[in-house]
Amino acid sequence: MKTGTHLIQELMVALGYGMYGSSRVTADIRPLFDDAIRRRVAEMVYDEDVLARLDKADEAEFRAETDRAWDALGWAWQLKFGLPLENRYGLELIDTDLVRQARHRLAASDFADTPPGICWVVPEFDIKKIDGRFIREWHETGEPRIIFNYRDPRDTLLSMVNFLDGKTAGGYGSYSEFQAFSRILGTKETIEDKLTYAMSDPSFPGNGDFERSQWLLDHPGVCKVSFEELVGPRGGGTVEAQQAALQRILSFLGVDAPSDQLSQRLFRRDSFSFYKGQIGSWRKAFTQDHTTMFMHQWGTTLRKYGYAAE
């Protein structure tokens, strides 16, 4: 989280993908399914009685029921990915008969069975929590293709503090835990106090994510791309780095598209979680004590990801 996911989202939308799992998926970028795909989704979730009823349903009922099936399938797969949905949304949202049924029916299902043309955005990917069947499928087939997006951990921490402190235009999202930390940050008078708190509380959102994600950084089958590479000149990067990153992603996906045109789509100040989107903002916000504190806790991680200590 807070590593520039919106850059990846804008790229994937420009390439024609529908989006799923991002914290703010607007109607214009949601996946669009034809009736054949809707029927296939229904078959993955519903039992024979419901499917028989769908055969006789009018268009409105068919779309409504298949929308419900897609919602249940999405929740079920997020649970297979090990995401803490109960904590973030509440048990009542996912502990329903339909989601339980979807989870049961998907237990022996491959990710390849999900609808094509969708980019799934996963805010964390802890290999110790991911369903083993998915890991085996990915190991054996190389699909789905995984892009790992990361950012200087110091800028990531600062971005999370600003996000939870209400600095972004669209609020701080719908995760329940964010409400607690937003209120805590609201009791701190200065940005210095907020950063000190964020570094000192192990449960602060994002703390530990870089360590849990290291396997993605090291895995040869994952496409790695940093915020600093992808953001381009408007975010303090360079055209050359941005073009190289885009070419790497396009090659990884097996897509032939003009990277120079795609680059114009990436940097959006109206992204709901956007604040400044600049490389190295931590340098103006961190005191020397913050730098020392950060290096003491995360210096090894910082170097592992290729960032200099200065």
CA dihedral for 296, 298, 301, 303, sign (positive or negative)? negative
Which DSSP string corresponds to 195-237?
A: HHHHHH-TTSTTTTHHHHTHHHHH-TTSEEEEHHHHS-GGGT-
Nearest-10 crossing angle of helices 48-55, 59-80: 150
Cβ distance 302 to 309 under 8 Å? yes
Cβ distance 149 to 5 under 8 Å? yes
Tokens of 38: 């809707």
Tokens of 22: 């991002």
Q: Work out the angle at residue 5's Cα, subtended by the Cα atoms of residues 242 and 124, and round it to the nearest 5 degrees.
A: 130
Select 1-25+123-310's CATH number: 3.40.640.10, 3.30.70.1060, 3.40.710.10, 3.40.50.300. 3.40.50.300
What does the pLDDT read at residue 272?
45
Cβ distance 29 to 19 under 8 Å? yes
| Per-domain residue ranges of the chain | 1-25+123-310, 32-116
In angstroms, the CA 158 to CA 139 distance is 35
Is the previous residue joined to 144 through a cis bond, with omega within 30 degrees of 0? Answer: yes
User: Which residue is listed with tokens 């087939």?
Assistant: 141
Smallest CA-to-CA distance from 299 within 153, 161, 192 is with 153
Cβ distance 6 to 273 under 8 Å? yes
Q: How far is CA 277 from the centre of its chain?
A: 17
What does the pLDDT read at residue 269?
57
CA distances to 188, 227, 231 from 235, in Å: 28, 9, 5
In angstroms, the CA 229 to CA 76 distance is 33
User: Which residue is listed with tokens 């090894």?
Assistant: 300
What does the pLDDT read at residue 266?
83
Which DSSP string corresponds to 166-200?
A: T-STT-S-S-HHHHHHHHHHHT--SHHHHHHHHHH
Cβ distance 238 to 197 under 8 Å? no
Spatial CB neighbours of 128, under 8 Å, sequence gap ≥ 6: 82
**Amino acid at site 250:** L
Per-residue pLDDT of the chain (310 residues; tens, 9 = 90+): 889 888 999 999 999 999 998 667 788 899 999 999 999 999 999 999 999 999 999 999 999 999 999 999 999 999 999 999 999 889 998 899 999 999 999 999 999 999 999 999 999 999 999 999 999 999 999 999 999 999 999 999 999 999 999 887 666 667 899 999 999 999 999 999 999 999 999 999 999 999 999 999 999 999 999 999 999 988 899 999 999 999 999 999 999 988 888 888 886 655 544 456 689 999 999 999 999 999 999 999 999 999 998 7
In angstroms, the CA 119 to CA 124 distance is 15
